[in-house]
């Protein structure tokens, strides 16, 4: 999920109009006639028999195998079993009643959600750290489900790379302006594209020439090129964006290999069909990727994770079961609560933070008052020119099909500076399509000052001065305004997001067709940009610790994350007002890669733990059995979701004394080591741990402990936050605690 050059602390934009033409691609409507028939884990390894069984099942509904072949969109045959087909609602209902069918899921359309960030995270290429200890991710394959890539980018050079990893089974597919033998190399080792599920919905209303798209792995938007180069791009020196942020760009794991699975298409800023996403998961798992990165998410309200409408949750479950770590975007619907997406506990869910770099841009009003915003404007100073406020009804004009969202009337604003409050801008969602981001992003307070000035004079004017690059203290990491927040709306007792990572003003490679492309690169903002930062670090951890499970990697990231920024400064969360960030804003904290490489203890999980979660969520035995491929019976007494072994404690409804369990695994010192508990209890909450001391040695690698939580409150409260840290003098293994009391009336 992405926003182009968008709000740093921002609630408004200053933008300079450069033309009168809308750049928005034509809106198209989905037909909504594709369904995914999910059959769970494969019952045998003969792919031909699997496919034949799909056609036979569909033929029983539609009358013949010939008709079934016409209606079939995809067969899922490698990592799990199922198919996507064009079905009426009645046919879908009939199939849902077949023996062996876990669920029939309606195809959904989902949305897409550098030169400084790696140094900020402590992964400088000039000093000893995880980057070098892992040989820059050598031998690891990162798979991305995105908009494709631009193979000519310098970020995808394979210079200095050795042979393709031996465990790779995938390949490249040719298509529009993409030739596999030319455009794939030892860096881009996989490139596939999946559009059948998308076309089955949109049909002839999707005109690829009209929206400038390629039926191939080539990227027409720039999003996939940006995310893939951020995760595992090669080093490119002397890069800047509009002369800002000068330096060397690279991915988090510059020697890792890339496999692109293009599932998102150039409609409404990037749309992705769940049938295509599920097919890409099936192929990526089979191809042999080690990490899967998705900067994609659905919309609120969320549906049940496994049973309904959630191809990402289903696909990622099968990936994690095969030892593949899956990293997903939290979403860009912040700062409201309960907006976080991709909430399954087997996924690493990433929110976006700022870094210690800014681009201050002076804004001088006609009354000679100078304010400072953040901008990318580096051209000649724009001398005093007219200032207009975009919320004025006189600045909006309806166009066909957009009566609910009228764009700016460019004839009234051409050549002027336009003030926009995006928090109030639901009626102008595409305003920036009509303007060039030539000014600054400012906070609400400064924006209000500009507005008050504009309303105080008949002919307001403003002068915009070029931005400059500022790095280091006193700048610190903060949670971005737009980042989706917890609590988890599906399972409130499972903390989401998991971690925060740089996602604001990230410079990386892009497509020349991208709207803000500058000499090979773009500066983008969103949880889309934060996600590949974590994916790149996961690749380094996989290289350094090939035996770690996805859960162990997730735990290492969460328990070692910065609660305060790398500089030691507090981390704030931007919203209607700034506040200290809490676990619903940033999970465990901002990722700390070097600490994650040596976490001491991890909260590990296996398929059995995820079954515990599924049973606690009241999924049926048959659905769980099909999902896992093994007969499963949930216990007669529903297990507590509080006991799922995640690296956090979240109690959304505490009324009585509650006890829960966690298990830690020693991945640190092989000799005897002693960990002691240190508790920071939430305000008004009592927390105790038993035992208070954990002793590990060569024979004892795992130890379980119990946490008892109670409250002095006799009223309902909001959430209070604290932490539990296990320390042995070398490692500090910290998990966040979130507790909300709920006292039932007598």
Calpha distance 109→111 (Å, rounded):
7
Q: Please count the other Cβ atoms lying within 10 Å of the Cβ belonging to residue 242.
A: 22
Task: Supply 255's token pair.
Answer: 């020697």
Maximum CA pair distance of the chain? 80
- Among the residue ranges 44-53, 192-201, 600-609, 622-631, the one predicted with the least confidence is 622-631
* Residues 270, 222 contacting (CB under 8 angstroms): no
Local confidence band at 303 (pLDDT 50, 70, 90 cut-offs): low
* Residues 346, 322 contacting (CB under 8 angstroms): no
Q: Are strands 348-353 and 499-502 parallel, antiparallel or unpaired?
A: parallel
Local confidence band at 521 (pLDDT 50, 70, 90 cut-offs): confident
Span 454-458, mean pLDDT?
87
State the span(s) of the chain assigned CATH 3.40.50.200: 116-356+476-597
Superfamily assignment of 33-106 in CATH?
A: Peptidase S8 propeptide/proteinase inhibitor I9 (3.30.70.80)
Backbone angles phi, psi at 586, to 5 degrees: -140, 15
- The active-site residue, picked from 35, 54, 55, 146, is 146
Span 525-548, mean pLDDT?
95
Asked if pLDDT for residue 256 goes beyond 90, the answer is yes
State the span(s) of the chain assigned CATH 3.50.30.30: 360-397+407-468
Report the helix count and the strand count for the chain, using DSSP H and E.
18, 41
Local confidence band at 163 (pLDDT 50, 70, 90 cut-offs): very high
Nearest alpha carbon to residue 138 among 540, 470, 580: 540
* Residues 8, 358 contacting (CB under 8 angstroms): yes
Nearest alpha carbon to residue 192 among 106, 258, 248: 258
Asked if pLDDT for residue 726 goes beyond 80, the answer is yes
Instruction: Write down the mean pLDDT value for the chain.
Output: 84
* pLDDT of amino acid 585: 96
Asked if pLDDT for residue 405 goes beyond 50, the answer is no
Task: Supply 377's token pair.
Answer: 């404007």
How many residues make up the chain in this entry?
746
Calpha distance 22→405 (Å, rounded):
13
* pLDDT of amino acid 691: 97
Task: Supply 418's token pair.
Answer: 């336009």
C-alpha distances in angstroms, 128 versus 16, 84, 114, 138, 594? 45, 49, 19, 17, 10
176 noted as active-site residue: no
C-alpha distances in angstroms, 413 versus 10, 24, 279, 320, 371? 22, 18, 46, 52, 22
The architecture in CATH of the region 360-397+407-468 reads 3-Layer(bba) Sandwich (3.50)
Question: Could you please report the per-residue DSSP string of 562-581?
Answer: BSB-TTSPBPEE-SSS-EE-
Element (H, E) at 444: helix 444-456
Calpha distance 343→353 (Å, rounded):
19
- The active-site residue, picked from 79, 240, 353, 528, is 528
Burial status of residue 182 (CB atoms within 10 A of its CB: 0-12, 13-18, 19 or more): exposed
* pLDDT of amino acid 379: 66
Nearest alpha carbon to residue 596 among 552, 565, 564: 552
Comparing 728 with 305, which gets the higher pLDDT? 728
First to last CA, the chain: 46
- pLDDT tens track for 641-691: 999 999 999 999 998 899 999 999 999 988 899 999 999 999 999 999 999
648 noted as active-site residue: no
Local confidence band at 20 (pLDDT 50, 70, 90 cut-offs): very low
Residue that has been written with the tokens 């790696």 in this structure: 118
CATH topology of domain 116-356+476-597: Rossmann fold (3.40.50)
512-532 per-residue burial string, b: 16 or more CB within 10 A, e: under 16:
ebbbbbbebbbbbbbbbbbbb
- pLDDT tens track for 481-514: 889 999 999 999 999 999 999 998 888 999 998 7
Instruction: Identify whether 375 is preceded by a cis peptide bond (ω within 30 of 0).
Output: no
State the span(s) of the chain assigned CATH 3.30.70.80: 33-106
* Residues 408, 431 contacting (CB under 8 angstroms): yes
**How would you classify residue 337: left for phi > 0, otherwise alpha for psi between -120 and 50, otherwise beta?**
beta
Calpha distance 523→508 (Å, rounded):
7
Q: Report angle CA 715, 716, 721 to the nearest 5 degrees.
A: 110
Task: Supply 476's token pair.
Answer: 């610190």
* Residues 417, 389 contacting (CB under 8 angstroms): no
- The active-site residue, picked from 223, 226, 545, 612, is 223
Local confidence band at 588 (pLDDT 50, 70, 90 cut-offs): very high
237 noted as active-site residue: no
Class of domain 645-741: mainly beta
Contacts of 92 (CB under 8 A, 6+ apart): 35, 104, 106
């Amino acid at each position: 999920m992405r926003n182009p050059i968008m709000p740093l602390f921002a609630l408004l934009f200053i933008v300079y109009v450069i033309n009168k033409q809308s750049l928005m691609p034509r809106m198209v409507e989905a037909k909504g006639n594709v369904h995914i028939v999910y059959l769970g884990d494969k019952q045998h390894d003969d792919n031909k028999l699997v496919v034949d069984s799909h056609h036979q099942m569909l033929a029983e509904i539609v009358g013949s195998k010939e008709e079934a072949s016409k209606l079939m969109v995809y067969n899922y045959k490698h990592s799990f079993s199922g198919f996507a087909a064009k079905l009426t609602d009645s046919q879908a209902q009939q199939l849902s009643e077949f023996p062996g069918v876990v669920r029939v899921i309606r195809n959904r359309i989902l949305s897409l959600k550098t030169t400084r960030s790696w140094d900020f995270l402590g992964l400088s290429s000039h000093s000893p750290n995880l980057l070098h200890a892992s040989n820059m991710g050598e031998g690891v394959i990162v798979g991305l489900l995105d908009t494709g890539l631009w193979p000519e980018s310098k970020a995808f050079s394979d210079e200095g790379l050795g042979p393709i990893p031996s465990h790779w089974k995938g390949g490249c597919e040719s298509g529009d302006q993409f030739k596999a033998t030319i455009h794939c190399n030892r860096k881009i080792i996989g490139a596939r594209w999946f559009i059948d599920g998308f076309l089955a919905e949109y049909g002839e209303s999707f005109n690829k020439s009209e929206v400038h798209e390629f039926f191939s792995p080539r990227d027409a938007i720039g999003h996939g090129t940006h995310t893939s180069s951020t995760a595992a791009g090669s080093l490119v020196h002397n890069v800047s964006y509009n002369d800002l942020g000068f330096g060397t760009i690279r991915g988090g794991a510059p020697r890792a290999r890339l496999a692109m699975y293009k599932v998102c298409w150039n409609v409404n800023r990037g749309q992705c069909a769940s049938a295509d996403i599920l097919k890409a998961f099936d192929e990526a798992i089979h191809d042999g990727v080690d990490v899967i990165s998705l900067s994609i998410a659905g919309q609120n309200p969320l549906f049940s994770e496994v049973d309904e409408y959630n191809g990402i949750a289903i696909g990622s479950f099968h990936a994690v079961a095969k030892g593949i770590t899956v990293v997903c975007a939290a979403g860009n619907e912040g700062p409201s609560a309960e907006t976080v997406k991709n909430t399954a506990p087997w996924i690493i869910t990433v929110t976006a933070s700022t870094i210690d770099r800014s681009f201050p841009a002076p804004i001088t009003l006609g009354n000679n008052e100078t304010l400072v915003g953040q901008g990318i404007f580096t051209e000649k100073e724009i001398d005093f020119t007219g200032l207009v406020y975009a919320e004025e009804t006189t600045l909006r004009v309806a166009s066909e099909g957009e009566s609910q969202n009228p764009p700016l009337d460019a004839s009234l604003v051409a050549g002027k500076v336009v003030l926009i409050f995006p928090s109030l801008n639901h009626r102008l969602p595409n305003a920036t399509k009509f303007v060039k981001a030539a000014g600054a992003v400012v906070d609400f307070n400064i924006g209000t000052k500009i507005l008050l000035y504009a309303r105080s004079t008949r002919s307001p004017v403003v002068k915009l001065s070029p931005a400059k690059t500022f790095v280091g203290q006193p700048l610190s990491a903060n949670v971005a305004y737009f980042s989706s927040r917890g609590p988890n709306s599906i399972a409130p007792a499972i903390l989401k997001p998991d971690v925060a990572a740089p996602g604001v003003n990230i410079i990386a490679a892009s497509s020349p067709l991208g709207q803000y492309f500058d000499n090979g690169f773009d500066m983008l903002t969103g949880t889309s940009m934060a996600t590949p930062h974590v994916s790149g670090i996961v690749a380094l951890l996989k290289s350094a610790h090939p035996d770690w499970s996805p859960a162990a990697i997730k735990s290492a990231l969460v328990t070692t994350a910065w609660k305060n920024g790398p500089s030691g400064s507090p981390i704030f969360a931007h919203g209607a007002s700034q506040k200290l960030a809490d676990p619903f804003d940033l999970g465990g904290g901002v990722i700390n890669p070097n600490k994650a490489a040596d976490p001491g203890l991890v909260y590990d999980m296996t398929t059995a733990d995820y079954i515990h979660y599924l049973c606690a969520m009241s999924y049926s035995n048959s659905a769980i059995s099909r999902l896992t491929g093994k007969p499963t019976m949930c216990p007669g007494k529903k297990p507590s979701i509080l006991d799922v072994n995640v690296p956090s404690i979240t109690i959304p409804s505490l009324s009585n004394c509650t006890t829960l369990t966690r298990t830690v695994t020693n991945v640190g010192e092989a000799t005897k080591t002693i960990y002691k508990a240190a508790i920071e209890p939430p305000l008004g909450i009592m927390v105790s741990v038993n035992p208070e001391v954990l002793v590990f040695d060569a024979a004892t690698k795992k130890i379980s402990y119990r946490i008892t939580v109670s409250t002095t409150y006799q009223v309902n409260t909001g959430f209070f936050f604290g932490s539990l840290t296990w320390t042995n003098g070398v490692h500090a293994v910290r998990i966040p605690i979130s507790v909300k009391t709920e006292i039932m009336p007598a």
